[in-house]
Chain A
C-alpha cells in the first residue's frame, strides 16, 4: 500500500440536542493509505455517517485532528472545505443526488464548473468520465429518463471527473437491486485499480466483501478494523454476490 491519504487522530464529534450532548464519535484514530478500499460498517447510530461526513469534508470534528492528503482539514473554514471537496474527493450518495431536469453531461460538468475549468475542457472531461462509466451513449438523457443503476453511474462519473484521490460513497447500492449493485461495485473496483482510494459506507456485508478492508463502528468507536482479500465483482449470468453468505 502507498503512503497515508487519510489520517485521523482522536477525532470526536459532539452534537448538542437541547441540554443533551450526543457523542456521535469518540476519539476515532484511523489511517487509510492511498489505493485502499475501505468499507465502514455498523448499525445505525454507530457513528459511521458522522465519520463519513467528517472524512468527506462536509463537517468538522469537535476535537481531534484530521489530515487529508497532507492538509489539516480540521482547521479549514467553509470555503477551504468546499475547495477540498471539489479538488481532492468525490461523493457518491445512496439517493444519487443528481440535479433533476439537467442532462447527465451537465450533471457531470457541475464540479468542474466550481473548479473554474473552461467550458470546452469541462465538456471533454465530462464526456470522458461518462464514457468510462459506460454511459457514452446517454450523455444527453435526464436523470428521470434513466434507471437507478444508470443514475448511479452518472453520479460516479461526476465524482470521477475532477480526478480525485478519494471517492466517498455513502450506501451507494442502497437503492439498487443486487445485480446493479454488483455492476456499481465492479466500477468501483476498476477505479481502485487505477489508484483511487475508496471509502464506502454500507450496512450490507455482501457489499463490504468487495472492499480490501472493513472497519466496523459501534457507539462512536472503531470496534474492529480488518484487512481482507476483496471479492472480485464479476458479472456472470447469475448475480454472483447473491450466492455468497458472510
Chain B
C-alpha cells in the first residue's frame, strides 16, 4: 500500500477496486480510478511536481484544487495540465515542467539564490539598454521562464461545440448550487435547469469540508442533495464541466473535455464557491505548506494523508475543521495557531482542544523551516501577533512536515465580474462581498460570503426561486434566508507577515514576495492596474485566485488608501485556462462543388478555391502548368473548349418594374433592351466605385436573368434587396445562383458541336452574338446565352443544377471527335486578357471608378439616375489614373511582371499591374496596369519593378513596358461574332 494512502471511508472519490498505472518523470506510479495526479503522487509520498516560474523553487500542491500554478504538469503534448484536478489514466505519461536537468536536480534552482539581483520588473530595466540588446536577451529569458512545452507539430485534435438551452443555469454543484437547482426545478415540471459542476461529481465542499465536530453533517447533506438532484428529471447535471465566462443575455460557454457547450439561459445562479487564500510568511511556498481545504481534499476525497505532523494556522472555523480531519487521518497536530484575538467558542475549536492539541491564540506561523534543497518542511515557527503584519521576536518552533493554513477566502466571483457585477470590500469582515448584480443573476453560498451550511442551503434555495421566477416560473413566495454568518468573519484582515529575509510569497505563480509589490508602488507603479502589470501579480496561470486579495491589501497600504479606494482590476473571461482548440471547435469551412466537380477531378484538374467554390484552375498537375494552360488556350482559339461557369452568380429580376430596377441598379440602359438579347451590366456603389459586372438577359418584358461575379453575387443580391426595400418597386429579386449549372463552350467549332445536341437555330443570323434563348440541349432545358468572355464564337448554357453533370457529359461526348477539351480558370483569364476584358476585383479595387477603368462606354449618359452616377459625374475631370494595356519592351530578359507589381514613375509609385501573362496566341507578354492619367497615351513607356533584382539588397529589377491599345487580340471582334 502507498505510504500515505488512508483506509476507507477516507477517499470518497476513488475506486480502490480499479488500480491505475501511470508514470511521472519516467517512473512508474500507481493510484486508483478517481485519483488526481496530485493525490496519486502524494499517496506515494511524491509531493514536488513542479518548479516555480522565476526562482525554480520546488513546488507542491497548495490548493489541491488547481487554483495555483504549483501543480501544472506536462502530459504528452498537453502543456500546463493541472495535476490537482486531472484524473490519472492508465498509461498516462506525466512530466514535470520548467526544469533543466529534471525536477530534483534542476540546474536553474541557482536562480533562487540570485533573487536580490532579480527585483520586480527587472526585465523592464536590465535588458533594454543599449538599444537593441533585448533581442539577444529575450530568447534566453523566455527559455528560462517557460512553463510547458508546446508541440507545434502536433496533429490537429478533434474539438467541437454544441448549443444548450436552459431556463435556469446554476453554476456550481456544491450545497448552494444543488439547493438552487432543486428549488428552481421544483417550480414547474416544465422548467429546464442545467447544473454545471467543474468536479467529476456533485457535492462541492460537501465532498471534503467538515461542518460539525462529529464530521457527519457533510455526508448527510451530500447524500440528501445529490440524491434529490439525480431524482429530478428536469435538472441536467453537467459534471466535469467549467463555465468559463458570462456573456450578454446569459450566454455561458461551458467546457467539458474537448467540447464547448454554448449555453443560453434565462437566468443564472452563481454558486461557484470561493478560493481559499494563503497565509503569507517566510517560506510559505515549501512543499507541505497548504490550505486547510487542500488537506481536507487529500484526506476526504482521495484518502491521502497530507503528512505526519502538522501545524495549523487559522482565523476561522475551517482551520479547526481541517485540524480535526488531519487528526482523523492520523496526522499529529502539533499546534493550532489562531490569528484571532480571542479563543473561538464554536464546537470545532472545542473538539480540537479535546484532542489535546495546544491552541495558541493571537499567534501565527511566521516562518517555515526548510528541508535541504527546499524539498519540504521540517518545522514551523509560531509567534504572537503584536500588530498588523508584525509578530513578536520570540517564537516557538514545532517540528512538522506539514503546515496548514485557513485564514480566509476570496469569492470565486469571476462570472459576476464578467457580467458587470460589483463586489465591494467589507472592512468589517475583510472580504469582498457581493454588491449589485445584473438582472437575472443571483449568487448563493460562499461566493456570496455565506459559509454556515444551513444558511448556504437557504441562500441557494432563495437564489433558485428568484432565478425560476425570472425565467417565468414563479411559484409561491421566496424562501427565507437566515442571517447566520458564523461566529466571526472567515477572513483575517491582515494575514501577511513580511520577513526580513523575504521568500514570503504573495503570488506563487510569479514568485512575487511582499517587498516586490511594495517596491512596485515605490517605483511609481502605484495604481492597482499599473502595479499589476509592472509586477505581473495576478497575471500568471491562476489569474490572481490566490494572490489578488493580499495584493490589493498591500497596494492599499502602500498608497495609504482603503481597499475599496485601491480598487480592483478588471476581470474578463475566461475564468480558467482553455484550449485554443476548444474555442475553435470543429471548424466549419463551407465548401461548394459544382455538379461537374467530379468530372474535373477525373480529368486531372488542379482545383482552386474561389470563395467557397472549388473551380478547375488548370487540367494537369505539377510543373507543366504553364504548358497545360497554353495548350488549353490554343485549343479554344483553334478548335473548341468547354469551361464550367456554374459558380457565376445568377439573379432573377422579375416584375412590371424590372426594367426600372435594372436601370437604377446598373450603369447602362435596359428598358429598351430587346427581349431575347443580353447586355453587359456594370454596377457601382454610391461613391461610383465598381462593385460588380455581368450580363442581363431579357427573357420577357418583365424578366431579366442577370449574371454576377462568383464572389460578388451575394453582395449584389443584398444591394438589390436593400434598395428595393427603399424604392418599393413592383419587382421581385431572387438569387438563383445555386439553381443553375453553367458551361461555356467556346471556339471556332463550338457551333458545330452544340448543333449536335439541340434543334435550336444556332446560325449567326438565327442566334446572333448577344442573343439569348431557352432551348433543350441534350434533353436538358437550358438558357442559352451567346456571349463570350474569351473572344471566340461561344455559347453559355445555364441548366438546372442537378442536370449539370449530364449536360457536361453530353457535350464532351458530342465534341469528342472534334477535339473538345475542358479548359480551366487560368486559361480563361489569359484568353480574356488577350481580349482586354476587365475582371472586377482583379483589375479593379475598392476605389476604382469606371472612368479609371476605361469603362465609360458602359455609362448611360442621358439617364438622370443610377446608383453612383452623381459621384462618377463629379469625378469626370479629376481622373488621376487609368487602366491601360501594355506590352513588354525588348530587354526584359524574360522577367514578366506579376499582379500587383508596381509601376514606377520618377522614382515614385505611379500605379500597379493588375493582370499580366504570356500570350501563346500573340507570342508575347501582355498585361493591364494602372498608370498616371498623363502617361496613359498609346506608346508611352513606363517602368515596372519586378522580382529578380539580384543579390544586392535594396535593388529591384525594372522592366520597360509600352502602352498599347486594347484589345490585344481580334480588335474587330470578328471571331466572337461569327
Real binding pair: no
List A residues at the B interface (Cβ < 8 Å): none
